[in-house]
């Protein structure tokens, strides 16, 4: 038996998109059950499945003609099928050296297999819709095209699932949006107007030191309010299904330097060092605005919870055609609840904890970062460092590199 390959190009990004759907190990749903029944009827086979290929297993979202819920990835036919475009066919497994001694052939009697690739708009193959029989056979051209059509319908269901979750997120948090607009933005503007009025009324008698103090208060309040508004708009942008990803060639090191340069005044004010390390010339094909927002939110979050005289590290490395970007701090780390929410891509609660200098916020930053990462076919992972602090990381495909 030849094992199904598990070292596909951009494998981690593929798995991140699959896990981001939150579909694995979910109960049966009629819309998927209907499609496997159609596949069975169209191909005239007793068995049909929608198979999703996870890291070490294939799991059936829907199935007909079998009680098996999942099998190992190594022996799966679908693990082979996802590396092929269109429909992958095995007319007679007994005559195919890849499958003649496969457990599914020896124990379940599978002889014929045809699987249509479930490829998303991000180019990731998540699994197949497949038809299986216990006798050798061939599919007609019409049956092949019909199986491909069913695969496209399933991918559409995946997209609808993501959009449904985004709409739920927006509706679930509309009261929070109103809170940000009415409180987090309204109150600071009132403060700015009051201080400005004080300056206007006393500009001839106020000394230079007092004038500077009030001017700095206006700037600080205005900058904080702008950041709140920018985060709110970014969050609403995630929830909009009408704004497409705009892939561009991005110089990663240059973008990171730009973002950290913007945040350097914050780091300086807290006596926190920003340390960067990674290859100088790595190019990504991705949405520069979304990536900038992810980096800014993760770095801002790291700075917010960093004690004085500590270091926030931003590191990136290239491996197997993918770039891993990692941001770590030396703060108090993350609670188990927050770790679970981030790593399962659940919506993160809005009750943001104050930073080490009393910084406040609405907790939108991590949701924005995770939302943009998912739109780009990735997923942010979080863990606590064995020494101290937390580590956030995500992966993106590289288009070229000079290491």
Please check whether residues 318 and 181 belong to one and the same domain: no
pLDDT at residue 181, rounded to an integer: 56
Q: Residue 382 maps to which CATH number?
A: 3.30.565.10
pTM of the model: 0.52
Token pair recorded at residue 99: 């499958």
Please check whether residues 302 and 264 belong to one and the same domain: yes
pLDDT band at 351 (very low <50, low <70, confident <90, very high): very low
Q: Closest by alpha carbon to 137, among 1, 271, 45, 64?
A: 45
pLDDT band at 173 (very low <50, low <70, confident <90, very high): low
Please check whether residues 95 and 230 belong to one and the same domain: no
pLDDT digits (tens, 9 = 90+) for 80-128: 999 988 899 999 999 999 999 999 999 999 999 999 999 988 889 999 9
Note whether residue 5 is domain-resident.
Answer: no
pLDDT digits (tens, 9 = 90+) for 191-240: 677 777 777 777 777 777 777 777 777 766 666 566 656 666 666 665 55
Going 195 to 198 to 203 to 206, the CA torsion angle's sign is negative
Please check whether residues 163 and 179 belong to one and the same domain: no
Note whether residue 51 is domain-resident.
Answer: yes
Q: Residue 82 maps to which CATH number?
A: 3.30.450.40
Please check whether residues 262 and 400 belong to one and the same domain: yes
pLDDT at residue 179, rounded to an integer: 55
User: For the chain, what is the mean pLDDT?
Assistant: 83
Q: Which residues contact 8 (CB under 8 A, 6 or more apart)?
A: 14, 82, 83, 125
For 125, the domain range is 11-168
pLDDT at residue 402, rounded to an integer: 38
Please check whether residues 283 and 235 belong to one and the same domain: no
Of 108, 141, 168, which residue is a domain's last?
168
Please check whether residues 164 and 117 belong to one and the same domain: yes
pLDDT band at 361 (very low <50, low <70, confident <90, very high): low
Please check whether residues 28 and 147 belong to one and the same domain: yes
Please check whether residues 135 and 279 belong to one and the same domain: no
Please check whether residues 79 and 191 belong to one and the same domain: no
pLDDT at residue 227, rounded to an integer: 62
State yes or no: pLDDT of 243 exceeds 60. Answer: no
Of 168, 196, 224, which residue is a domain's last?
168
Q: Find out whether 322 and 395 touch, Cβ atoms under 8 Å.
A: yes
Note whether residue 2 is domain-resident.
Answer: no
Of 168, 188, 205, which residue is a domain's last?
168
Note whether residue 4 is domain-resident.
Answer: no
Note whether residue 1 is domain-resident.
Answer: no
Note whether residue 233 is domain-resident.
Answer: yes
pLDDT at residue 102, rounded to an integer: 92
Kindly give the pairing relationship between strand 311-319 and strand 273-277. Answer: parallel
Note whether residue 6 is domain-resident.
Answer: no
Please check whether residues 178 and 80 belong to one and the same domain: no
State the average pLDDT over residues 337-362. 67
Q: Find out whether 126 and 158 touch, Cβ atoms under 8 Å.
A: yes
Q: Residue 202 maps to which CATH number?
A: 1.10.287
pLDDT digits (tens, 9 = 90+) for 244-298: 677 788 999 999 998 888 788 788 888 999 999 999 889 998 888 889 888 988 9
- Going by the DSSP 8-state scheme, the letter that residue 74 receives in this structure is T
Report the distance separating Cα 399 and Cα 211, nearest Å: 52
pLDDT at residue 85, rounded to an integer: 87
pLDDT at residue 401, rounded to an integer: 41
Domain count, the chain: 3
pLDDT band at 62 (very low <50, low <70, confident <90, very high): very high
Please check whether residues 259 and 269 belong to one and the same domain: yes
Note whether residue 314 is domain-resident.
Answer: yes
State yes or no: pLDDT of 20 exceeds 70. Answer: yes
């Amino acid at each position: 038996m030849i094992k199904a390959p598990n070292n596909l190009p951009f494998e981690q990004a593929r798995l991140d998109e699959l896990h981001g759907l939150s579909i694995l190990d979910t109960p049966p749903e009629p819309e998927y059950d209907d499609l496997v029944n159609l596949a069975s009827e169209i191909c005239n086979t007793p068995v049909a499945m929608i198979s999703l290929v996870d890291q070490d297993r294939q799991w059936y979202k829907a199935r007909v003609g079998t009680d098996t819920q999942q099998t190992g990835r190594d022996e799966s036919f679908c693990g082979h099928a996802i590396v092929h475009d269109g429909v992958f066919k095995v007319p007679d497994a007994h005559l195919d050296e890849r499958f003649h001694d496969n457990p599914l052939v020896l124990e379940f009697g599978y002889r014929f297999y045809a699987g249509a690739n479930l490829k998303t708009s991000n180019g990731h193959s998540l699994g197949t819709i497949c038809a299986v029989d216990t006798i050798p056979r061939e599919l007609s051209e019409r049956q092949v095209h019909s199986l491909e059509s069913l695969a496209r319908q399933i991918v559409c269901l995946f997209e609808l699932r993501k959009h449904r979750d985004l709409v739920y997120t927006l509706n679930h948090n509309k009261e929070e949006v109103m809170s940000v607009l009415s409180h987090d933005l309204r109150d600071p503007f009132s403060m700015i107007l009051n201080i400005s009025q004080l300056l206007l009324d006393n500009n001839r008698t106020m000394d230079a030191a007092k004038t500077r103090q009030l001017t700095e208060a206006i700037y600080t309040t205005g900058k904080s309010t702008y950041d709140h508004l920018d985060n709110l708009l970014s969050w609403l942008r995630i929830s909009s299904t009408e704004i497409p990803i705009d892939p561009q060639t991005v110089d990663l090191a240059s973008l990171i330097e730009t973002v950290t340069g913007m945040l350097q005044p914050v780091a300086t004010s807290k006596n926190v060092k920003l340390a960067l390390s990674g290859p100088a010339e790595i190019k990504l094909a991705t949405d520069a605005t979304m990536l900038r927002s992810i980096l800014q939110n993760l770095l801002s979050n790291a700075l917010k919870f960093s004690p004085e005289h500590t270091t926030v590290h931003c590191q990136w490395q290239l491996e197997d055609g993918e770039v891993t970007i990692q941001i770590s701090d030396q703060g108090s780390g993350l609670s188990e609840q927050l770790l679970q929410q981030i790593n399962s891509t659940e919506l993160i609660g809005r009750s943001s904890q104050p930073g080490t200098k009393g910084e406040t916020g609405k907790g939108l930053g991590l949701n924005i970062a995770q939302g943009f990462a998912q739109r780009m076919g990735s997923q942010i992972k979080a863990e606590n460092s064995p020494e101290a602090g937390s580590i956030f990381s995500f992966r993106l495909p590289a288009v070229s590199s000079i290491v």
